[in-house]
Amino acid sequence: MLDICIIGAGASGLAAAVTAAGKQKNNSVMIIEKKDVPGRKLAATGNGKCNLTNIHCTDVNDTLLFFEELGVYTRTDGEGRVYPYCSQAKDVVYTLVNAAESAGVEIRTDCTVEKIEKKDNCFRIKTNKESITAKKILIATGGKAAPQFGTSGDGYAIAKSFGHTVARLAPVLTGIEVHEDLKMLKGVRVKALVKLLKDGSVIQEEAGEVQFNEDGISGICVMNLSRFIKLEDGEAFAEGIRRYSAEIDFLPEVGHEQLENMLIKRMQLDLGSPENLLISILPQQLRRYIFDTLNVASAQKIDLCKLTEAVKCFRLGITGTKGWKVAQCTAGGVKLDEINMDTMESRIVDDLYFAGEVIDYDGPCGGYNLQNAWITGIKAGKAMADVL
Ligand SMILES: Cc1cc2nc3c(=O)[nH]c(=O)nc-3n(C[C@H](O)[C@H](O)[C@H](O)COP(=O)(O)OP(=O)(O)OC[C@H]3O[C@@H](n4cnc5c(N)ncnc54)[C@H](O)[C@@H]3O)c2cc1C
């Protein structure tokens, strides 16, 4: 019988294995991984560069120390995002896998855990190939986001089978789909302040580059806002989503009155077409879209108040998010009050542990989600190996 069996060779599973194994710890550790190689998602993080963590995260020093001890040399950018120095996610995967295997961890790939039962103080893990028994298990199966990397939400069913509660799941860190037809804006990128409204009130805002697609908007600021689109328990999707809208301020540095005055002055100039009132403020496609929507025939007939509104309060009705395939994270998961967050052990079942995205945590872009995976993996690894 194994001492420790870890389900999932992703970020948290590998961190836990490296922490729990090794000669002096004397534990037999196995990782069972669904995909053909470990760390498929990890290798794709940060566009292949792997934004490991962020210096603004709590417990970041534990993560930095963990990687320093493994020989991963890092650099930090102006926004606190930490990357391996050479910006190669695959080097992080290699280092972790190599460290785990050198410490005696067996990584069994192409093997899917289907069911786990606990009997007589040991766990019987049924996979698509065989049954394995272990004294302690760690569910490090990730969430439901980006299932092409093996994460199709299996951990939630396992958690529920042990009596755990799973908070409502939603794809987050993804683009937002809107009601308006944005075909003519496809490909436009602008720096702006984006506000998320619920029932007409602003609940969150974020500045950054907004990218227009034919059916919606994306970009890091939009992805971060997607975390705040939350349907209430039992609320039907169509009803819940209708309560949300987005408002874009394309000129946040300039107030409404100041913009109106600026436009009055511009009206005295011979700028050619009416839409050129916004020349050098907005890209041409966006100017055209706004003027088409306002249905303006000549510069003299422009309602400056409406034009200012269109620049500073550009409203979009939200119809959904881009969904699981392109989401970078899962909101919801195994409820935190059912887990001892110092050890990551279940408060319901002894010797059952959770780490990574499977728990009810999601952070913004910038290294926060991998930080959650490392730190919970390290804590679980220590606790399972009794080296707290
Ligand atoms: C494209 C993309 C880019 C991202 N970039 C960043 C970034 O730069 N910085 C950042 O902080 N976060 C980033 N994230 C988020 C981050 O990758 C995840 O939050 C993190 O990997 C979660 O770690 P984890 O250990 O919980 O799960 P994962 O790393 O997803 O690993 C879970 C593993 O479990 C395996 N598994 C699942 N079910 C089973 C089963 N039944 N049996 C056996 N194995 C199973 C899966 O195959 C997978 O290998 C990104 C996400 C995506 C999709």
Q: What is the pLDDT of residues 80-116, one digit of tens each?
A: 999 999 999 999 999 999 999 999 999 999 999 999 9
The verdict on 158 and 244 lying in the same domain is: no
Helix, strand, coil shares of the chain, percent, nearest 5, are: 35, 30, 35
142 CA from centroid of ligand 1 (Å): 5
**For the CA atoms of the chain, what is the radius of gyration?**
25
| H or E element at residue 380 | helix 368-384
62 CA from centroid of ligand 1 (Å): 20
Dist CA 280 CA 309 (whole Å):
18
Of 321, 338, 361, the position where a domain reaches its end is: 321
| H or E element at residue 339 | strand 339-340
Going by CA atoms, what residue is nearest to atom 52 of ligand 1?
328
The verdict on 353 and 301 lying in the same domain is: no
Candidate from 227, 370, 372, 375 with most ligand 1 atoms within 8 A of CB, to mutate = 370
369 CA from centroid of ligand 1 (Å): 9
pLDDT at 299: 61
pLDDT at 254: 97
Q: Which tokens hold the place of 66?
A: 């963990």
Can you say how many angstroms the Cα of residue 83 is from the centroid of all Cα atoms in its chain? 17
Contact indicator for 132, 125 with CB cutoff of 8 Å: yes
Of 321, 344, 364, the position where a domain reaches its end is: 321
CATH of the domain at 134: 3.50.50.60
The verdict on 156 and 180 lying in the same domain is: no
The structural domain count of the chain equals 2
Where do we find the tokens 């970009």? 219
The verdict on 230 and 100 lying in the same domain is: no
pLDDT tens digit string along 25-39? 788 999 999 999 999
359 CA from centroid of ligand 1 (Å): 12
The verdict on 52 and 149 lying in the same domain is: yes
The verdict on 272 and 359 lying in the same domain is: no
The verdict on 39 and 105 lying in the same domain is: yes
Write down the pTM of the prediction: 0.95
The verdict on 160 and 115 lying in the same domain is: yes
Q: What is the mean pLDDT of residues 289-316?
A: 87
pLDDT tens digit string along 5-14? 999 999 999 9
Of 273, 298, 321, the position where a domain reaches its end is: 321
Dihedral Cα 112, 116, 122, 124, nearest 10 deg: -60
Q: Which domain holds residue 151?
A: 2-170+328-384
CB of 333 sitting under 6 A from ligand 1: no
Residue type present at position 368: Y
pLDDT tens digit string along 373-388? 999 999 999 999 986 5
pLDDT tens digit string along 228-257? 999 988 889 999 999 999 999 999 999 999
The verdict on 293 and 156 lying in the same domain is: no
The verdict on 55 and 166 lying in the same domain is: yes
